[in-house]
Chains A and B, each alone.
Chain A
Amino acid sequence: EVQLVQSAAEVKKPGESLRISCKGSGYSFTSYWITWVRQMPGKGLEWMGAIDPSDSYTYYSPSFQGHVAISADKSINTAYLQWSSLKASDTAMYYCARERASDYWGRGTLVTVSS
């Protein structure tokens, strides 16, 4: 069974760093892109970027480039989304999903940034 298991919800303060994870199982992790999608409270889906776990080639949306970093460790079938300095406006649900037309999704990681 294909699964994407995301890390637990996080509560952080502005300026703090954070890394959330997405672990794939039940399929060949290096054969499919991992995409990250943001959904702010009550809003629509925003594509942030994607990584090819086989070689860590990464695409970013211009809206997120420079503010987040996407990485992957193929030895443990895990992709990451990382911030070095969080803002209150980063408060959102973050989903990882498999492939470009995303057939499998994680349940999401809720990130709350508040002073």
Chain B
Amino acid sequence: ENVLTQSPGTLSLSPGERATLSCRASRSVTSSYLAWYQQKPGQAPRLLIYGASSRATGIPDRFSGSGSGTDFTLTISRLEPEDFAVYYCQQYGTSPWTFGQGTKVEIK
């Protein structure tokens, strides 16, 4: 199983600041099949990024994904109030399609 480790566990930032979230895989992610999701309390997750760097439909361009192999990054260029949430990475290149444990982005 490809274990995904996200860091940091919690990121405390102010609106307008830049957020950088990391996702490290225990094995190379096949074909960069890496996705990022945002989840707010009481809601289902929302797809932000797929294929490591492609934004999903309707996702603002302040969200960007990068990386390959075992190291991936989600960047939020300028935090908006609605961006404070939990973010998960997921690899879907090799079964089981595992999730990271999540990074909480909270208001400082």
Contacts and interface: CB of A to CB of B under 8 A. Distances in A.
B101 A44 contact: yes
Q: Which of B50, B92, B101 has the most CB of A within 10 A?
A: B92
B34 to A, nearest CB: 9
B44 A107 contact: yes
Contact of B96 (A45, A60, A107, A108): A60
B8 interface: no
B68 to A, nearest CB: 16
Interface in B92-108: 92, 95-102
B97 A95 contact: no
Interface of B: 1, 33, 35, 37, 39, 44-47, 50-51, 56-57, 86, 88, 90, 92, 95-102
Interface of A: 35, 37, 44-47, 49-50, 59-63, 95, 97, 100-103, 105-108
Given A46-B99, A105-B46, 10 more contacts: A37-B99, A44-B88, A45-B45, A49-B96, A59-B96, A59-B97, A62-B96, A97-B44, A102-B37, A108-B44
